[in-house]
Structure 1
Amino acid sequence: MIYKLLPTVEWDDARAAGHLAGSAVDRQDGFIHLSAAEQVVETARRHFAGATGLTLLSVREDRLGDALRWEPSRGGQLFPHLYGPLPVTAVVDARAVPVDVPVADAVAALLS
């Protein structure tokens, strides 16, 4: 399983469209940023600290085909990058991130 943390409004738009085109940062970089289970808490800490109204998507990587590539990123770690839209059918779970604790702690709790 791989993960995508995003504003809930973007997930709502993706469900309506049948796919996620990615955030502004994703589109600027040319791929959709995803995280492995052991990476998503640090992603939350670095990129979403203080944010509210977030959703954590659980994505089946076997449903993404050749558009998914594992490439070096933060500290040389291999991260999943999706070169193309993320089909809603690849998402097997979408959970609202609680706002009563820091986002990284909330994401860690959702994964446990």
Structure 2
Amino acid sequence: MKRKQAATTRLDISQEEGPAKIFNNNVDDGVIAFALWQNSCADGESLPASAAVPVSVHTFVPDKLAVLDDHAAGKQVTVEFKEGVPYCKECDDSAECLHVGFAICLEQKHARSILE
């Protein structure tokens, strides 16, 4: 069974105002978006301290789901974890989009905080 490939876009982190633009909708861009979000959070708050963050966390339930605010698309996106594998509901159940990359990093951050 073939999976639909997510729309081709690219992440532009050079933009100074407003949400960063997304160019390659892939897992690597999700990792970059997560780093931007994490670096923008002030003192461990979950809300971004800067409007230049393309994706931020709305709701996170470990091992179940992540509801993300996609500022570039202007909507909330749900990523569900099924047997440990994340699937994006916005990108036709894709396991290889920006939202999935972000959710994987979020899950890893949560797992790391449990170990500490």
Give me the TM-score of the superposition, normalised by structure 2.
0.29
Q: Which structure: greater helix fraction?
A: 1
Q: Which structure: greater strand fraction?
A: 1
Q: Report which structure shows greater RCO (CA 8 Å, sep ≥6).
A: 1
Give me the TM-score of the superposition, normalised by structure 1.
0.30
